[in-house]
Structure 1
Amino acid sequence: MSNHAGDAQLFEDTFTVTDYDQSKYDRVARITCTSADSQTEMKLDINIELFPCRVGETLQVVLSTSLSLDGNKDDEEERGWKDVRGESSLADMYDYVCHGKIYNFEDGSEGETIRAYISYGGLLMMLEGPYKKLTPLRVDNTYLLVKK
């Protein structure tokens, strides 16, 4: 993991989109992705008007508790893409940014993995991977940052 956001960065990985399903909603698709090391699977609901993507594309995904470049925890009243001083944030480096909450964990397949569930205002995400990769995740508010 890169250290530009310090301890605020909970997860970082590169994924390839392996499935794309837009059958339920006009502006939302559920994408299924596999990490570059094939150890982690991600299912993510995305707003395709804001972030169109297709099968075969590579996505860089980060989960962070802060958008501050120095990793300081975001103040609830200052949450936003730029703080009150107008300084740059981690969001400036990504194409798609959401704020949500990690709300549940469960054992994955055969007890070898763990699943983390995150909601971004109704757009859902599920990460399943080895305990070692997902250990930093905890029930907490988090930002999702994605770029191609």
Structure 2
Amino acid sequence: MMRNLRQLFPPCLRCLAPGWPSALVLGHPWAPSQLPAQYCELYRAPLTLSCSVSRLHCESESFKMDLILDVNIQIYPVDLGDKFRLVIASTLYEDGTLDDGEYNPTDDRPSRADQFEYVMYGKVYRIEGDETSTEAATRLSAYVSYGGLLMRLQGDANNLHGFEVDSRVYLLMKKLAF
């Protein structure tokens, strides 16, 4: 049966069938409606692209750190060449008191968030060492998910020693004036 299917569908056409890739190449002369019924579509709808997230690729000027960060540009627009201050902290309270991650509008204690323009709360989900070295890792990468907006911070292990998998962290950003 599979050989007959391969003869029926040329290599440039992929269909939703066991043993075949699960995508349909657009622009093929055979429309999906001409496919046999057992290879029916899973989803079809007209879509409009509207981008609300940008992936930033940044370098630190002082600590030789590399940052890849997803930012909601509808909330916090950024442009190429912008400089910003970035802080990653385990709490927003300036006295170091840990919090539960819940926003409390009645809390009137001083907050680090008051000094920043963009704040996210997320979870460290992975920490990787540099596999190119046989010694102890000299560079680490910490990965954090802020509700689906992702971050990778990579640099010297001494600068990332406070990151632990499953810990909750805040990201705070503020653009700098030149």
Shorter-chain TM-score: which interval? Answer: 0.7 to 0.9
Q: Gaps spanning 5+ residues in structure 2: where?
A: 1-48
The percentage of counterpart residues that share the same residue type is: 35
Q: Rate the CA distance shift 1:36–1:25 in 2: closer, same or farther, 3 A.
A: farther
Q: CA RMSD in A?
A: 1.9
- The whole-number CA distance in structure 2 between the counterparts of 1:52 and 1:108 is 33
2:118 to 96, 105, 114: 96
Q: Confirm whether residue 147 of structure 1 aligns to residue 174 of structure 2.
A: yes
1:120 to 146, 160, 164: 146
The equivalences for 1:1-148 within 5 A come to: 26-37=51-62, 39-76=64-101, 79-80=102-103, 84-108=106-130, 110-111=132-133, 112-139=138-165, 140-148=167-175
- The whole-number CA distance in structure 1 between the counterparts of 2:94 and 2:140 is 29
- 1:108–1:128: 8 Å Cα contact kept in structure 2? no
User: Number of residues paired by the alignment?
Assistant: 122
- 2:93–2:109: 8 Å Cα contact kept in structure 1? no
Q: Rate the CA distance shift 1:85–1:123 in 2: closer, same or farther, 3 A.
A: closer
Give the greater-gyration-radius structure (CA): 2
Shift of 1:104: 0.5
Relative contact order, higher structure (CA 8 A, sep 6+): 1
Q: Which 4+ stretches in 1 moved above 6 angstroms?
A: none
Q: Rate the CA distance shift 1:25–1:144 in 2: closer, same or farther, 3 A.
A: farther
Q: Secondary structure in 2 aligned to 1:138? A: coil
- The whole-number CA distance in structure 1 between the counterparts of 2:130 and 2:79 is 26
| Structure 1 equivalent of residue 39 of structure 2 | none
Q: Gaps spanning 5+ residues in structure 1: where?
A: 1-23
- Structure whose residues are more often strand by fraction: 1
- 1:99–1:142: 8 Å Cα contact kept in structure 2? yes
Which residue identity is paired with 2:163? L
